[in-house]
């Protein structure tokens, strides 16, 4: 056998497998070319997930006849005028994308440079035709049909239409986030997926591509360290999804995919979100070129940082900072959602109904008899009526009506109540359904979920004690003996020392049996020790097979959170007015009290303005 030089077409076909890989990668290369050409509008339309057709059209600088022929050649680029690899000012520079795509597909390019003639060129499986005159307006349109038709082996690796389409959509979304200055349109099978105008504000662009709530419920992130700057937006802890899909990282303007971000986000939100929920973030790093290698692989958007630990700590601390300052803030969309629901119910309740039946759902009656409820409320909106009733009743008969046993309690002195209204969470006026505190503020009302709120407070206290002198214990007069499955008791005994730090003293007491000698003092007078210990065992069994470095800290937090849940006021427990007010004041003084440790809001706020809207006064 003799060594020979491979023909160009073959070289390009081999390169295509790496450079374009799948339709989404071809789209990325072409859209980046449009951005490099200074386009202010970029339109991508695909058929069949991009497998049969990709068209990318832009209003950028365009190409003349000569450039149109050259752009299809390998290693032909206009973007490295000084032959200086360290001075890269464009997204492209290798000059191999178009050559690779044209080697494996049927490509047609039409283009016109400013003030020049329009030309069109075709290329099939690497065979270029001569350019012919065309009528294209300024800018460029590239049509790619039957990607990989020339390399059937490669073609087999393409996934379903849906999978390829989703990859294209994700790619164009990321590029559109990185370039809010340009307009982006994406269409699939003739249907518009999104159409974003040029010159959008970043936050607006992100919300349009992620979820609309991001507009209201995201915090701005800015930080800087050793010449690296971080900017972008991160969702409030009350905004979360079941997958980490909406977590985006951009390095020097390029979308990248890096596990680094997932880890950072997890660490930063650990305290405020359940483990199976994921926050929404879009972060932009500007890093001096010598600190990062973005081109580890031309198609895979990986990055390599010289000092990854520094970058990680920069991201985590910036996110944590924002969560702590934004923590005492209830998600606006949560209140908005509540308003929408009430509004819809009201509309339904007030809609004329011609089938009034006397046997409609019974209204909860006032104990003392009293205000008539409009008949229309009685139909179809039982829950609303009940809610309305519960809100009004205490005002009709303050104190006594909350619970019969409350009659002996002193009502809150009116003056004290008025003073308390100046606090952000206001003055507690009533408790309803033994779980919701209704407080009056200067500008409206606040509804607090007492269990969620208290759980947060206990959790924060546990953390403070742990950081300070260790969690305070309270010895049990007689040890509590608990029988459980052997695996569960072993899991607990394996962590005797850690549990002791957390305030729980246990010792073995025969197979599958434990003795509990002390519990955290914060758990109060009559905690259900059996339940607590079983929950902790479950927690340990569940997390035992996690080995990554954050697992230990995460587990500690999970344990604390389980204990906090046990140590907090149950829903269903009646509270005195002074207890409720004390809870509100503690919430105001506690970081992150806007959500419980599972990311659910602890309170929602309705302004008088909102309430007036509901009543059609505004
Ligand atoms: P690279 O982007 O690395 O230079 P490509 O193969 O992607 O390599 O493109 C080759 C050349 O074709 C570019 O350098 C550019 O001059 C030209 N080109 C490609 N697409 C466009 C476009 N949409 N508008 C103007 N010029 C383009
Ligand atoms: Mg390019």
Over residues 282-302, the mean pLDDT reads 77
Using a 6 Å cutoff on CB, does residue 102 contact ligand 1? no
Report pTM.
0.67
Residues in contact with 580: Cβ distance below 8 Å, sequence separation at least 6, in sequence order: 428, 431, 437, 439, 450
The pLDDT mean for the chain works out to 80
Contact indicator for 236, 218 with CB cutoff of 8 Å? yes
Residue 210 C-alpha to ligand 1 middle, in angstroms?
30
Q: Which residue's CA is the nearest one to ligand 1's atom 17? A: 71
Please say if the pLDDT value at position 396 is more than 50: no
Using a 6 Å cutoff on CB, does residue 71 contact ligand 1? yes
3-state secondary structure of 115: coil
Residue 83 C-alpha to ligand 2 middle, in angstroms?
16
Please say if the pLDDT value at position 421 is more than 60: yes
Contact indicator for 72, 123 with CB cutoff of 8 Å? yes
Quote the CA–CA distance of 116 and 118 in Å, as a whole number. Answer: 7
Q: Any idea which ligand is nearest the CA of 96?
A: 1
For residue 472, the tally of other CB atoms under 10 A from its CB is 14
Q: Give 290-353 as a DSSP string.
A: GGEETTSSSSS---EETTHHHHHHHHHHHHHHHHHHHSSS--HHHHHHHHHHHHHHHHHHHS--
Residue 56 C-alpha to ligand 1 middle, in angstroms?
13
User: Which residues are bridge partners to 430 per DSSP?
Assistant: 438
Using a 6 Å cutoff on CB, does residue 503 contact ligand 1? no
Using a 6 Å cutoff on CB, does residue 93 contact ligand 1? yes
Q: Which atom of ligand 1 is nearest to the CA of 99?
A: 6
Using a 6 Å cutoff on CB, does residue 101 contact ligand 1? no
Q: Which residue's CA is the nearest one to ligand 1's atom 8? A: 95
User: 128-146, pLDDT tens digit by residue?
Assistant: 999 999 999 999 999 999 9
For residue 194, the tally of other CB atoms under 10 A from its CB is 14
Q: Any idea which ligand is nearest the CA of 35?
A: 1
Judged by average pLDDT, the poorest of 18-22, 404-408, 500-504 is 404-408
Over residues 438-447, the mean pLDDT reads 90
Using a 6 Å cutoff on CB, does residue 37 contact ligand 1? yes
Instruction: State the first-to-last Cα distance of the chain, in angstroms, to the nearest integer.
Output: 88
Give the mutation target among 31, 71, 175, 179 for probing the ligand 1 site: most ligand atoms within 8 A of CB.
71
Residue 107 C-alpha to ligand 1 middle, in angstroms?
14
More confident residue, 53 or 391: 53
pLDDT at 334: 60
Q: Any idea which ligand is nearest the CA of 103?
A: 1
Quote the CA–CA distance of 618 and 610 in Å, as a whole number. Answer: 9
Q: Which residue's CA is the nearest one to ligand 1's atom 12? A: 71
Contact indicator for 270, 279 with CB cutoff of 8 Å? no
Please say if the pLDDT value at position 357 is more than 80: no
Over residues 331-343, the mean pLDDT reads 61
> Which pLDDT band, with edges at 50, 70 and 90, does 552 fall under?
low
Residue 32 C-alpha to ligand 2 middle, in angstroms?
6
Q: Which atom of ligand 1 is nearest to the CA of 91?
A: 2
Over residues 342-359, the mean pLDDT reads 45
Please say if the pLDDT value at position 551 is more than 70: no
Q: Which of 364, 358, 438, 360 is nearest to 398 (CA)?
A: 438
Give the mutation target among 19, 20, 26, 36 for probing the ligand 1 site: most ligand atoms within 8 A of CB.
36
Highest mean pLDDT among 82-96, 346-360, 442-456, 542-556: 442-456
Quote the CA–CA distance of 4 and 20 in Å, as a whole number. Answer: 26
What is the H or E stretch that residue 377 is in? helix 375-378
pLDDT at 361: 35
pLDDT at 364: 33
More confident residue, 513 or 176: 176
Q: Which residue's CA is the nearest one to ligand 1's atom 14? A: 77
Using a 6 Å cutoff on CB, does residue 140 contact ligand 1? yes
Residue 91 C-alpha to ligand 2 middle, in angstroms?
7
> Which pLDDT band, with edges at 50, 70 and 90, does 407 fall under?
very low
Using a 6 Å cutoff on CB, does residue 435 contact ligand 1? no
Using a 6 Å cutoff on CB, does residue 561 contact ligand 1? no
Using a 6 Å cutoff on CB, does residue 97 contact ligand 1? yes
> Which pLDDT band, with edges at 50, 70 and 90, does 347 fall under?
low
Q: Which residue's CA is the nearest one to ligand 1's atom 7? A: 97
Distance of CA 74 to the CA centre of its chain: 41
Using a 6 Å cutoff on CB, does residue 41 contact ligand 1? no
pLDDT at 501: 85
Using a 6 Å cutoff on CB, does residue 392 contact ligand 1? no
Residue 26 C-alpha to ligand 2 middle, in angstroms?
10
pLDDT at 180: 97
Residue 43 C-alpha to ligand 1 middle, in angstroms?
16
Q: What percent of the chain has pLDDT over 90?
A: 38
Q: Is beta strand 118-124 parallel, antiparallel or unpaired with respect to 127-128?
A: antiparallel
Exposure on the CB side of residue 252, measured as CA atoms within 13 A: 20
> Which pLDDT band, with edges at 50, 70 and 90, does 292 fall under?
confident
Q: Which residue's CA is the nearest one to ligand 1's atom 27? A: 33
Residue 301, both tokens: 């958007």
Contact indicator for 454, 435 with CB cutoff of 8 Å? no
pLDDT at 302: 72
Residue 33 C-alpha to ligand 1 middle, in angstroms?
5
Q: Any idea which ligand is nearest the CA of 78?
A: 1
Instruction: Indicate the Cα dihedral angle 398, 399, 402, 406, nearest 10°.
Output: -160
Over residues 43-60, the mean pLDDT reads 97
> Which pLDDT band, with edges at 50, 70 and 90, does 355 fall under?
very low
Using a 6 Å cutoff on CB, does residue 77 contact ligand 1? yes
Q: What percent of the chain has pLDDT over 70?
A: 80
pLDDT at 534: 85
Please say if the pLDDT value at position 366 is more than 60: no
Residues in contact with 82: Cβ distance below 8 Å, sequence separation at least 6, in sequence order: none
């Amino acid at each position: 056998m003799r060594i020979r030089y491979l023909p160009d077409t073959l070289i390009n076909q081999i390169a295509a497998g790496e450079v374009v890989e799948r339709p989404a990668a071809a789209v990325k290369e072409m859209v980046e070319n449009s951005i490099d050409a200074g386009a202010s509008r970029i339109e991508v339309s695909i058929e069949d997930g991009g497998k049969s057709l990709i068209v990318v059209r832009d209003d950028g600088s365009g190409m003349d006849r000569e450039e149109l022929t050259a752009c299809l050649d390998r290693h032909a680029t206009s973007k490295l005028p000084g032959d200086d690899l360290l001075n890269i000012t464009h997204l492209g520079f290798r000059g191999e994308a178009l050559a690779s795509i044209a080697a494996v597909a049927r490509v047609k390019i039409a283009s016109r440079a400013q003030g020049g003639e329009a030309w069109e060129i075709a290329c099939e499986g690497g065979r270029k035709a001569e350019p012919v005159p065309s009528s294209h307006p300024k800018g460029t349109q590239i049509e790619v049909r039957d990607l990989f038709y020339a390399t059937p082996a490669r073609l087999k690796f393409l996934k379903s239409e849906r999978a390829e389409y989703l990859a294209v959509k994700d790619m164009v979304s990321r590029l559109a986030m990185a370039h809010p200055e340009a307009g982006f349109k994406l269409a699939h099978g003739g249907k518009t997926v999104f159409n974003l105008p040029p010159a959008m504000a970043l936050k607006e662009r992100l919300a349009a591509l992620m979820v609309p709530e991001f507009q209201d419920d995201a915090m701005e992130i800015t930080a800087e360290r050793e010449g690296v700057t971080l900017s972008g937006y991160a969702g409030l802890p009350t905004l979360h999804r079941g997958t980490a899909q909406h977590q985006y990282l951009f390095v020097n303007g390029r979308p990248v995919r890096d596990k680094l971000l997932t880890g950072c986000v997890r660490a930063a939100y650990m305290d405020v979100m359940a483990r199976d929920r994921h926050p929404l973030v879009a972060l932009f790093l500007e890093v001096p070129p010598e600190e990062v290698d973005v081109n580890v692989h031309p198609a895979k958007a990986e990055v390599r940082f010289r000092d990854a630990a520094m970058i990680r700590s920069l991201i985590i601390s910036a996110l944590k900072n924002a969560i702590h300052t934004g923590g005492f803030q209830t998600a606006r969309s949560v209140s908005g959602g509540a308003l929408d629901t009430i509004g819809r119910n009201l509309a339904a309740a007030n809609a004329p109904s011609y089938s009034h039946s006397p046997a409609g759902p019974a209204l909860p009656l006032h104990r003392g008899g009293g205000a008539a409820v409009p008949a229309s409320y009685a139909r179809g909106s039982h829950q609303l009526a009940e809610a309305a009733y519960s809100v009004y009743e205490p005002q009709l008969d303050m104190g006594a009506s909350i619970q019969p046993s409350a009659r002996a309690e002193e009502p809150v002195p009116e003056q004290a109540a008025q003073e308390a209204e100046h606090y952000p969470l206001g003055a507690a006026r009533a408790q309803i359904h033994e779980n919701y505190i209704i407080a009056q503020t200067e500008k409206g009302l606040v509804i607090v979920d007492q269990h969620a709120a208290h759980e947060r407070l206990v959790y924060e206290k546990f953390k403070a004690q742990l950081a300070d002198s260790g969690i305070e214990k309270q010895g049990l007069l007689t040890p509590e003996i608990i029988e459980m499955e052997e695996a569960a008791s072993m899991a607990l005994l394996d962590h005797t020392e850690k549990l002791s730090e957390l305030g729980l003293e246990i010792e073995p007491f025969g197979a599958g049996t434990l003795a509990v000698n002390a519990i955290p003092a914060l758990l109060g007078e009559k905690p259900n020790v059996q339940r607590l210990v079983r929950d902790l065992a479950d927690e340990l069994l569940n997390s035992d097979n996690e080995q990554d470095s954050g697992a230990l800290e995460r587990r500690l937090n999970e344990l604390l959170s389980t204990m906090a849940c046990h140590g907090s006021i149950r829903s269903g427990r009646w509270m005195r007015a002074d207890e409720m007010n004390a809870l509100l004041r503690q919430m105001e003084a506690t970081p992150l009290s806007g959500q419980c440790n599972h990311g659910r809001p602890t309170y929602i706020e309705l302004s008088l303005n909102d309430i007036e809207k509901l009543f059609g006064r505004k």
